[in-house]
Structures are given as structure tokens and as C-alpha cells.
Amino acid sequence: MIEILNSKHSIKQTAKLTIDTESQAISNLSNLITDDFADAVQLIYNSKGRVIITGIGKSAIIANKIVATLNSTGTPSVFMHAADAIHGDLGLILKDDVVICISKSGNTPEIKVLVPLIKSANNKMIAITGNKDSFLGQQVDYVLNAYVEKEACPNNLAPTTSTTAQLVIGDALAVCLLELRGFSSNDFAKYHPGGALGKKLYLRVQDISSVNQKPKVLPSTSIKDVIIEISEKMLGVTAVVEDNKIIGIITDGDLRRMLSKVDDFSSLTAKDIMSANPKRINADAMAIKGLEVMEENGISQLLVEENGNYAGVIHLHDLIKEGII
């Protein structure tokens, strides 16, 4: 048992040391941001071409992630593996493209072969490297310094802290470009139409309410018919309308409270038990806004209006089904 406890303690200590090592290195990156970084951002922003990002080994994996981030935030980008580049993939690079080379050492054989070939085509080059005095650092137009003092690996060999630093530099590039482009949440939605994230950005209340049933009663409707309407429409609620304007709401909860107070409801009408001036939302509002209104008011259903008229209901379960929650 003692050995198990010691083992758990050792594991947790190693994990904490890894995190501390990497967080300190990342914190230091802000001290390495120079005019080269700003110039590189402006170069990409003003370019008529794409961003081609290349690397080898773990740096190639980081390059792929940066490409994905740039593409999703409005900067067209393409990954090119450094080893494949010198065997035909150099054809990916077009005249106006900007090339970013990622390499911790900046002195790998592939980089030494690749860089002169790219330079001969007169493409602008940016380096993300931990060694600004390396072959790569000396050959490119701009150097983005990703220096780290040591890897989190106890042997100081496995790329850990260095690849995290490369990733952070890439994120910084993407965010700077995003701000320069005035990239909005609506723009973001265009690039992320799938999944819960996309739905939060583009799904509107009317997209949900239009496929739901539309329970409604008049103020004079009998309680029996109110119960039938709520049961048949299966949303646990009905709107009380007059001239198609919302004047109230009746929920399952309202019916239960009524039954606990009266023995005979045969003479009661919808107007007698409804909650007046219920919470409502416009049909063209974002569905995520509907969720916010529900959470703020502790309710599960929300009446929908369109041009001031009753237009339907959205239920908390609808939002769960759509993956908004």
C-alpha cells in the first residue's frame, strides 16, 4: 500500500513539474515578441496568397494544427511536409504565398535543403524556431522566437515544451490576424457549421420552434380543454392568446398548483390560472440566447414571437437535443 501511495505521489509530482516547466516557458515567450512578429503578421495580412506551413517530425504535427486554426479564422493556409516538399510537393507553393517553417533547432537536413529552394522562388519566409542564430533563422525574412530553456522531458530530449511554445506562437499569429480582419462570431459560424459549436453560432429560435407543435388556447378556454391542449402538443405548456397576441402562459406546474388548491375546476378558464406577461423571445434570436433566458429565469419553456404575434414554443429539451447544452 505504501508503494502505491508513493507511486501516486511521484506521478502527481512529475505531472506538476511538467506543467510548471511548460507554463514558465510559455510565460517567457511574451518577452521574445519583437518587431519581426508584428512585421510577419502584417506580411500575412497584406498577402494576396496563402500561408504555407512546413516542418518535420513533431514540428510537422504542430504545423498541421496551426494550419487548421488559421483556416478556421479566415487565413487560407496549407500544410506541406518538409520531407515531401523536396520530393515534389514544392509545387504547392504559388507566387504570392507566404511560407512559415517550423523547426526547434533550425538546422535539420531537410530544412537546409528546403529553404534555399523556397528562397529561389522569391517567396517571403517566416521561421518559428527556438534558435534564431540557426541556418533557418539566418535565411528567412522574419524570425518568431520560440526559444525554451529546456524540455519537460527529464532527458531534455523529447519535444514537449518546445512544441508547446511553437503552438502558442501559432495561436498568437492567428489571433492577431483574426483581429486585423475584424473576424466576427458570424464569420466564425461560416467556417464551423457542424457540431454543437456551429449550432451555437448559427441556430436560431425559429429553426426549433417551426418544427414544434404550437399549443395555444383562448382566455375563455375551459381547464379541461387546456389540459387536452397541453397533453396533445406534448410540450408541457400552452400559450394563452388573444387576437394571436400572447397574454399569458399555462404550464404543467400551473395545473398541478391549481389542483392542489381547488376540488372543482369546472367553472375555471385559462385566464383564471395563467401567468400573465410570460417570458418570450423573438423568432430570429439565436437559440443560445433562448437558453440564456431560460437559465436566468429558471424555466424550461419559452414562448416565441414573430412580428409581435405568437409563433410557437421552444423547450429546454430541444436545446439539449440540438447539442446547444
The annotated binding site for Zn(2+) is made up of 81
Q: Which three cell numbers mark 43? A: 506580411
Amino acid in position 228:
I
Which whole-number Å values give the CA distances from 142 to 36, 164, 260, in the listed order? 5, 20, 76
Q: Could you tell me which residues are annotated as the binding site?
A: 81
Long-range contacts from 25-30, C-beta under 8 angstroms, 24+ separation: 25/148, 25/149, 25/161, 25/164, 25/165, 26/164, 26/165, 26/168, 28/147, 28/148, 28/149, 29/145, 29/146, 29/165, 29/168, 29/169
Whether the Cβ atoms of residue 239 and residue 216 lie closer than 8 Å to each other? yes
> What DSSP line would sit under 56-91, residue for residue?
-THHHHHHHHHHHHHHHTT--EEEEEHHHHTTTGGG
**Ramachandran area for residue 35 (φ above 0: left; ψ -120 to 50: alpha; else beta):** alpha
Segments in the chain forming alpha helices (H): 2-29, 35-46, 58-72, 82-85, 109-120, 135-139, 161-181, 185-191, 195-202, 205-209, 223-233, 252-261, 270-273, 287-297, 316-321
Closest Cα to residue 104, out of 56, 32, 66, 36?
Answer: 56
**Dihedral (Cα; 237, 240, 243, 247), 10-degree rounding:** -120
β-strands 51-55, 77-81 pairing: parallel
